[in-house]
Amino acid sequence: MARVGGSNDRRQGQPKQLVRWALAVVVVLTPCITVLFTPAAHGQVPMRPVQSGPPVVPIVSAQIVTEPSDGATGINPTAPVRVSVSHGVFDAVSLTNPEGKAVAGHFSSDKLSWTTTEPLGYAKTYTWSGTATGIDHLRRPITGSFRTVIPERLVSARFNVADNATYGIAMPIALTFSSKVIDKAAVQKALSVHTSVPTEGAWAWLDDTTVHWRPKAYFAPDTRVSVTAKLYGIAMGNGSFGREDIGSSFTIGRSYVLRGDTRTHRLAVYANGIQVGDYPASYGLDSDPGRRTHSGTHVVMSKFPVYYMSNPQYHYKDVEARWAVRMSDNGEFIHSAPWSVAQQGKTNVSHGCINLSPANARAVFDAVLPGDAVEIIGSSRQLGPNDGDYYDWTISWESWTAMSALPN
């Protein structure tokens, strides 16, 4: 019985061994298959294989996002405009205005985004078109549109300095707007000045339509200056927007300064720091406050070989003055005055101008540039805001910087 029983045990055990080897072979030959077992009433029962390894990535269509979003309105024409794609790449992209003109733009290096490279126009609807191919190999169209802001008014501006011109060392940069500026800080952020010689300077708002930039001290001679106003797209307040960007590049010439003293009746001239002239002069009549020449640093504004002067308050009209150099907007000039040569160097008899002899006036006329400084002392009447555009140098640096719309 024992032998019979043992023989049967061996015969019955062979299939179990084969099963164990078979499972081992399956594991060796297919290591990525894991066989799970679960308890059952009669032992371990194999369950279905479970796949392991890298996750399966679902195949999806290209996903396209436009910025601004479809149907957006009131978009600033200088705001970023782009379209991007995920799960695919772009085939072609176009953004067109109402006239069908394509807006310039470029793809990113991986062709996953496209961005405009030029500003848009005001009050225009722009439409997207093009296609993108997804990893599912299917093409999807690029669609959508948006509309830019409609300004209530467009504000233009102009500089007082011209391209490629040469100015004196006291020349302020003036920017004048066609309408009142409410958001001065936004506008000032769009302004920049670059100089070839390091120059400390600052913007100051003289009123609601005028902002000036001047250096803390006079410009260094031969400084190259570039000024830019990136005004297009700038919201200036109350529905106003900048009409266009403007800029100018100019040069500061040699140092040329005229210094006058109403008490000594002289006008001295300094070129590059060296005195080159000392002329007898007659300034405004001291006994009449309305005729006194103003003390303070004036700036040469313009010059005329012949200029006809009128002053209804003092009952004269179209008086011819030769070699006239304007140094303020209140009627003050340096000019030839042959009628007062006898008083020049001795007493003040003019209506506020600086009277010189014809020869001396011609010498000054020939030498000066717009932007040259005319420093006057001795008069009790001071140059100020009521005397025109270029009273910048009469304001202390601390007061000047306080007139900025931005924190110092």
Q: Which residues are known catalytic residues? A: 335, 353
Using CB atoms within 10 A of its CB, is residue 80 exposed (0-12), middle (13-18) or buried (19+)?
exposed
Q: Could you tell me the end-to-end alpha-carbon distance of the chain, in angstroms, rounded to an integer?
A: 111
Residue 377's Cβ-side half-sphere holds a number of Cα atoms within 13 Å equal to 5
Q: Are 404 and 395 in contact (CB under 8 A)?
A: no
3-state secondary structure of 108: coil
Kindly report the length of the chain. Answer: 408
Beta strands in 196-313 (DSSP E): 201-207, 210-215, 224-229, 235-237, 240-242, 246-252, 256-261, 266-271, 274-280, 296-299, 302-311
Q: How far apart are CA 167 and CA 12, in angstroms?
A: 114
- Give the burial string for 161-194 (b: 16+ CB within 10 Å, else e): beeeeebbbbbbbbbbbebebeebebbbebbebe
How far is CA 203 from its chain centroid?
13
- Give the burial string for 214-235 (b: 16+ CB within 10 Å, else e): bbeebbebebebebbbbbbbbb
Tokens 């958001």 correspond to: 183
